[in-house]
Structure 1
Amino acid sequence: MFHFAFGNKLVLKSVVNTKAYYPLVLDTNGFKSYYIKVNSQNEISHLNNYYYLSDGKKNVVNSNQALVLDNNFNNYRNLYKISSRYKNRDLNKSLVIQDLDSKTQKAWVLTMQSWYKDNLINGIGFKAGKLYDKYTVIRVPDSSYIYNENE
């Protein structure tokens, strides 16, 4: 009973947050150069898959676990919510974003992951050391670098 009443607070204290930045690689399909290719799974659920090249491999992420940043102000408000959720306070500072933008020409990927700590609360062997949550922020210079496969 105690676990269900206070479990969320215990989980947040027993999680390790990590982050990694990677530059995006420009991809081409013979028609157009793009950083992100969007593919809708189906029209009913409004879920998208984002395909991008980074760190020498092709990556796929679901729209429930990703945010695409372009020059839209509403996306930056969402970034603030995400960064506070992952206790990544330096991400919502404009200096970090400006530094990444200058190094990668406004094309980068940030992957934030939360892992369960190895402690008694997480249960040895049950949750300890396993992935708790993952979120990806994809930054593109402009929305014209996003290729929508369904259009």
Structure 2
Amino acid sequence: DDFEPASAYTHGGLCPIRLGCTLGSPPRYHVLTKLGRGSFSTVWMAHDRVRHQNVALKIVVARSLRTSQEREILQRLSKAPRANVVQLLDFFEHTSPNGIHQVLVMDLVRPLRYTRSEFRPIFVRTVLRQIFEGLEFIHSCGIAHGGTLRSHV
């Protein structure tokens, strides 16, 4: 189910986004499609008009303090970039009728569910090795990742 309840779009809640709108100041990120949602955010694919590439915009609920922690962690990880760790490219605040939302701009990564319908063992081993290398790097930076779910891969 990719739809949030209407009750999530109230003051302090999720940010209402229209496809085709442009976010940022100055306007820079042209929203193309919705990628998904979580407990505290929605994620959108947007085209970065400065970098000329597609990116992921994670727009967090207005009342959330978790964003600053996530932003700090992503900034720390970006100081020593790794190929198998998503990078924070930019961040900004966006004001909506529901409040002020933190927006995290990150690398766009295609989920595995769109890669292949059937996974061969060699492919699975390669992906798992990359996941473990990424987690090892994150742990070496003093960060514990508690959300290693199949839906996040």
- The TM-score, its normalising length taken from structure 1, stands at 0.30
Q: Which has the larger radius of gyration?
A: 1
- The TM-score, its normalising length taken from structure 2, stands at 0.30
Q: Which has the larger share of helix?
A: 1
Q: Which has the larger share of strand?
A: 1
